[in-house]
Structure 1
């Protein structure tokens, strides 16, 4: 009888311990979910705020090259100390191929991409600028396929869904560009009606070109990391080299150095750059952590927030046509990301042809 009582007490303690562990795990999951949501919302505020500030500075007369130089300076300042955490991944020698890749990443990812992006923001609006980068996943897919880093399996239902989502996303971007340009033309000259506003349309093309350059850089970066598996160090190096290339290009074009607006001094710009660079670096870390925890689809669901925040804060007018284009873009993005995840799962199980379709956000 005594032995039975001891066994019962032991079983009760074991059950109590299991319940406490389940409650602890549940609390941890709830806290993690809250942190993910709050973090991703905060990231969208940072992206929207950065677009609005850049647009404001350029309207004040700042030269885009100055903003690029100071922002990349801040990025290198933030990332350089962190890069020493990866010193075990640093190679013993630097090859000529790696040196060329760094130059291409620096010139394309810093000088070209940011210059195109700022021209696009200046000619359109922060709202359009925060919406356009959602084209990147589709463009990355096609560029990776062209480089034979991605395989198109047309027999797989999810591959076809991914292609359809990519096409829908791009169609939405072009529709949004045309509708925004048409509205700008009507607002600028209601008496002498023009079909499209050349400046707004050019700005949208600048943004699309910027996203294409960014997508190419992502593919090149993936190739480079295969030889140099230290992403923080690579970003710090490309920031420094990109800053130098941008400064050289600026001096060659202008034959002199100037901020563009004398009311803000270089120390003021450095302060802004450090704050913006720190916020941007934190946003990258939060996005990477959330992607690892919840996947790219959950992270992308929050992307429309930055567009909405930009529209509300900056007071940009978004017509029905432009809004329709944005909805098509975001829907295509979600569908393509969902299909990509399901495609990878189906290919790993070798049953791509025999899986039924599932809801979009499954």
Structure 2
């Protein structure tokens, strides 16, 4: 019988990643509530990433001062572009899209992201695709299915799912042209934001190879993103001083929670889980945050669930798991190929008389090449 300590050790990654999904769900709920209370979405992005910079930068300075590479102009250019893609563009589009739709809708739509990352990586030739292999077919099909699910969520409303705790009297149930237009605008904004996030992930994977100090890279992305988001916010809201004011309510809680919990605690959890379980493990739990958001927002925000949108969300999740299954199969094939090559390498070593430089000196530490948290 296995000892309790051993069981706890095995359970830690699962507990950690579930906690991370609750943190993500909390960010969505609190942000949507603050937006409903009048917090400007562009200002929220600026405050969120300013706070994230203040939180992450000291840890990066202390823990990575001995391993942090020199910042070159080439690397800095990539960092600035990363700050533009994710904090400045993606988050502005995401929060604006959330303002036009609901917290559950926005949370469900973001599950398309892994499929779009695969597509962008394929275009950038960072992802090998062989249409004859089942794993590649699964990733392509999963991407198509996820996009199809997003279209269903946008186009199909269906009957209301009557939950006992939801106050339906707070909502207008009619499908007016204005409501449909807001839904379409919100959907397009979240979709375009997901595309920017996908490009961000591909560029981030390239950047981390030449600048493998993850905390420092996160701090730089948050800082440059906050600066560029400030330019957008001043362009959109500079003539409205009231838009920048915060009060002791959700308008202050939203940027504090997003900056500290989503970009601080959640990043730490993500990094720890990736070391032991890899990036795919965390992604398989991402639909959990959508379920949490759907349940909590139905009574905390009095959001109404529609059957058509639940079906669309289920289709998106199906596409997500097809993509993740394809990634797992790819990793298994890569591991098998590596094991097959190992005996050949040993034979070459045996017949070579010259002293050989150790693999430790020449090898690349793949463990250092990991993506920074999705929620930078």
Q: How far apart, CA to CA, are the structure 1 residues paired with 2:250 and 2:176?
A: 43
Q: How far apart, CA to CA, are the structure 2 residues paired with 1:216 and 1:301?
A: 21
**Change in 2 beyond 3 A, CA 1:313/1:169:** same
**Change in 2 beyond 3 A, CA 1:216/1:193:** closer
Gaps of 5+ in 2: 161-170, 339-376
Q: How many residues of Structure 1 are paired with residues of Structure 2 in the alignment?
A: 322
Q: How far apart, CA to CA, are the structure 2 residues paired with 1:328 and 1:152?
A: 23
CA-CA distance at 1:49 after TM superposition? 1.7
Q: CA RMSD in A?
A: 2.9
Gaps of 5+ in 1: 1-21, 352-362
Q: Are residues 1:216 and 2:199 paired? A: yes
**Change in 2 beyond 3 A, CA 1:295/1:29:** farther
Q: How far apart, CA to CA, are the structure 2 residues paired with 1:91 and 1:180?
A: 51
- Structure 2 counterpart of 1:123, from 100, 115, 135: 100
**Change in 2 beyond 3 A, CA 1:133/1:116:** same
Q: Are residues 1:110 and 2:87 paired? A: yes
Residues 36-75 of structure 1: pairs in structure 2 closer than 5 A: 36-75=13-52
- Structure 1 counterpart of 2:231, from 248, 260, 266: 248
The two structures have a TM-score, normalised by structure 2, of: 0.77
Q: How far apart, CA to CA, are the structure 1 residues paired with 2:57 and 2:266?
A: 17
CA-CA distance at 1:106 after TM superposition? 1.1
Superposed CA deviations along residues 133-164 of structure 1, whole A, max 9, x for unmatched, are: 21111111111111111111122122112222
Q: How far apart, CA to CA, are the structure 1 residues paired with 2:13 and 2:109?
A: 24
The two structures have a TM-score, normalised by structure 1, of: 0.80
CA-CA distance at 1:253 after TM superposition? 3.2
CA-CA distance at 1:198 after TM superposition? 0.9
1:48/1:126 contact within 8 Å kept: no
- Structure 1 counterpart of 2:312, from 318, 325, 343: 325
1:344 aligns with 331
**Change in 2 beyond 3 A, CA 1:31/1:318:** same
Structure 1 window deviating more from structure 2 (240-249 vs 202-211): it is 240-249
Q: Are residues 1:202 and 2:211 paired? A: no
CA-CA distance at 1:269 after TM superposition? 6.1
DSSP-derived class of the 1:150 partner: coil
- Structure 2 counterpart of 1:90, from 52, 61, 68: 68
- Structure 2 counterpart of 1:276, from 218, 243, 258: 258
DSSP-derived class of the 2:64 partner: helix
**Change in 2 beyond 3 A, CA 1:134/1:193:** closer
CA-CA distance at 1:323 after TM superposition? 1.2
Q: How far apart, CA to CA, are the structure 2 residues paired with 1:331 and 1:257?
A: 44
Q: How far apart, CA to CA, are the structure 1 residues paired with 2:187 and 2:254?
A: 27
Superposed CA deviations along residues 304-343 of structure 1, whole A, max 9, x for unmatched, are: 3222222222222222221111111112211211221112
Q: How far apart, CA to CA, are the structure 2 residues paired with 1:75 and 1:180?
A: 37
